[in-house]
Structure 1
Amino acid sequence: MTTNGKNKLLEVVDMTQWVIACNPNDYDIEGVFNKLDKVEWKQSTNINVGDIVYIYVTSPVKEIRYKCIARKVNLSHADTTKDREFILKGDNYENRGRYMELELITKYKEGQFTLENLKQNGLKSVQGPSKVSEELSKYIKSNEIDMIKETLKDNDKEDSLNYELQKTNLDEAFTYKYEKKKRAKYIIKNDIKTYIRDRNVAKNALKHANYKCEVDKNHETFLRRNVEVGYTESHHLVPMAYSDLFDVSLDVEENIVSLCSHCHNLLHYGKDFEKVLEKLYKERVDYLNRVGICVSFEQLKMMYL
């Protein structure tokens, strides 16, 4: 969530989008984003705070590889102490007049947005900073949706894990703390961007629900083998695959619901998922807001389509 309360799911769509070029012979863009999530970049056009900036890596790569958001603009100088080792040709990055702070949102996998595909879908030039056309924006967005769906398939396996519960402290109640957590770092696993989950958070969420299905506590469940409590599965109501759209962590107890296997699968694969999703959303929306996860039901529904 942004500081003014506007949800970033809308912000990413509404803000002006730009394409800028990076010569890998001048600046090791891959190396810097493997180490840092923010860089100060030379600014030669009127990019505003909140604008989306796609970084096109020139020959021999010839692809858009990075999606960033502008956090600060019109800076008088750049702090090169953080990324000095990645500046390969200093005269291209020092004493440029204006700088902007770019925060990494997404790393695209190789072959996702090649120059050939970009030109076929509205890209006019990569010679200098340029605004993204409506045609190109739609092309990028459609590919991103496919990427997120692929990520969701991978993340479903994580959400469905049968967490082993310990007998110790099993009877102690867990109450929400309503603490906003910083968004965790992600890892690239099989070319899929995945955010690390804290299993203790999932266990706390199941405990909070008293190991009942939150769609209907009377739904039948079976007992776990290691401890005699009902078997339910933890599920992130706002899916972890959409973490990039928020400034806070989605891996918090307030965003995790306890579901029987039937309801969990219905949410992911069922034709009538919307009624179940709306019930859970209405019961959770106040909790989500308190931890900085501000999303409307229509936005949430889009994440499940």
Structure 2
Amino acid sequence: MNWIISANSKMYDHSSSFEHYGSIDWRQGKTKFEVGDIVYIYCTRPLMMLQYKCIVDRIDLDSSQIRDDKEYWIDQEEYLKSLDGKFMTLRLIEQISNNRMKLVNLKENGLKAAPQGPMKIKNEILQKYIDTYFTDNYQTDFFPETLKESETEYEGAKKTVIVNKYERSSKARENAVNYHGLNCKVCNLNFKKVYGEIGEDFIHIHHIVPINEIGKNYKIDYKKDLIPVCPNCHSMLHRKLNGKEPTIEELKLMMEK
């Protein structure tokens, strides 16, 4: 069985919890989930989109059988409330950032309304739409195409930039935009204000730690490591001056001069 459940990122940091552990012990309530069920998680405002695909690994757990995830709860009162009842373990399969998974598009393809509680996906048109577009292959708003696995040129020297699955998907990307906003952190450009509707939600994300230096076990902090910048400033951040790429602050000083 396939399900959709909803999540509020203002109450709980799902992105970090999934990234650090690969699973979340979720309140099961009275819904009859079964091991092996597929669960899509709909993120409420401001995202309003399907973002996580999980599989149910365990069901009917009590609070003594789950990990303590207090550190991920933004609302501590809700954390205390969350300890009652039965839980299930949701193991992350994939997280994406794709505008086709936004509520407005889901409603045009079989979803009746924004998910409030657990709902079975009974509509075949909706399931087919999710199966087709629940992927990052259609998302280009945040990362330029050169950040996919490819060869690219920097200062005349060819090098290979290999982006792992984490970076091609969006385990922290959407949270970075949600936290920092859509203005360039160097020049303050906002694409929607300049270009109107066509510029809505468009920005590049700059990695403070270069992608080619990120190891397999590196834990990205979306608040510190991922910074929104416009394409022009992004290019300048990857140009070397005296053998060194400038920092965000250094580039801002260059612009002021």
TM-score under structure 1 length normalisation: 0.43
Residue in 2 that maps onto 1:134: 124
* 1:23 Cα deviation after fit: 1.0
Q: 1:145 to 1:25 in 2, by over 3 A?
A: closer
Residue in 2 that maps onto 1:147: 137
Q: 1:85 to 1:146 in 2, by over 3 A?
A: closer
Q: 1:84 to 1:71 in 2, by over 3 A?
A: same
Alpha-carbon distance in 1 for matches of 2:9, 2:135: 28
Deviations 1:171-220 (A, max 9, x none): xxxxxxxxxxxxxx84213x589xxxxxxxxxxxxxxxxxxxxxxxxxxx
Bigger shift: residues 115-124 or 47-56: 115-124
Q: 1:25 to 1:187 in 2, by over 3 A?
A: closer
CA contact (8 A) 2:5 2:40 kept: yes
* 1:134 Cα deviation after fit: 1.7
1:33 aligns with 2:18: yes
Alpha-carbon distance in 1 for matches of 2:165, 2:21: 12
CA contact (8 A) 2:97 2:136 kept: no
TM-score under structure 2 length normalisation: 0.50
Of 56, 59, 62, the match for 1:76: 62
- Overall identity of the aligned pairs, in %: 35
Alpha-carbon distance in 2 for matches of 1:25, 1:146: 24
Of 52, 77, 97, the match for 2:85: 97
* 1:128 Cα deviation after fit: 0.7
1:187 aligns with 2:177: no
The alignment yields a C-alpha RMSD, in angstroms, of 2.9
Specify every segment of 5 or more residues in structure 1 that has no aligned partner in the other structure, as ranges.
Answer: 1-15, 158-184, 194-305
Q: Which amino acid aligns with 1:139?
A: Y
CA contact (8 A) 2:4 2:40 kept: yes
* 1:142 Cα deviation after fit: 1.3
Alignment of 1:9-20 (within 5 A): 16-20=1-5
Residue in 1 that maps onto 2:48: 62
Q: 1:22 to 1:72 in 2, by over 3 A?
A: same
Alpha-carbon distance in 2 for matches of 1:90, 1:48: 29
Q: Which has the higher strand share?
A: 2
Deviations 1:197-245 (A, max 9, x none): xxxxxxxxxxxxxxxxxxxxxxxxxxxxxxxxxxxxxxxxxxxxxxxxx
